[in-house]
Amino acid sequence: MKPEEYAWRQLQTHAAAQLRRGFADRVLRAARGPQDETWRQLQAHAGAQLRPGFAARVLRAARQIPGVPSLRDQFAFSAATVALCVLTVVFIHSRSVRLEDERNLAGWEQLADEVQDLVHYR
C-alpha cells in the first residue's frame, strides 16, 4: 500500500497532464482582471470613437423625448405611492385590530355565559 502523500502527488501529476499549456496563467489573469494600463488604453480607444459633444447631444435628445417624466412628475408619483402605502397600512391595521377586538369580545361573551350558567346551576 502506497502512502497517501504519494497518491495525492500522482493524482496531481495526472490532472496537470490533462490541462493545456498556460492554463494556470490564463486562470490567474482572468481572476485578477485587466491591469490599470489596460483600462486606460480601452478608455482612450473608446473616447476616440466618439465625436466631440456626444454627451451634450445625448442629453438634449433625451430631454426632447415625449413622455419622459420630469423631476416634478417623479416626485408626485413617489408622493402618491407613499400615500397609497400609508393608507394600505392604516386600513390593514384597523381591520386587524377590529377583528381582534371582535374575537376577544366573543371570547369574553362565551366566558360570561359559562359563568352565568355556573351561577344558575348552583
Residue pLDDT tens, the chain, 122 long? 568 888 888 888 888 888 888 887 788 777 877 788 888 898 899 888 988 899 899 989 888 888 777 889 899 999 999 999 999 999 999 999 999 999 999 999 999 998 988 888 76
* pTM across the whole model: 0.39
C-alpha cell at position 47: 473616447
Q: Give the DSSP letter of residue 19.
A: S
CB contact set of 34 (below 8 Å; sequence gap of 6+): 42
Under 8 Å between Cβ of 69 and 77: yes
Please report the pLDDT score of residue 1 as a whole number. Answer: 53
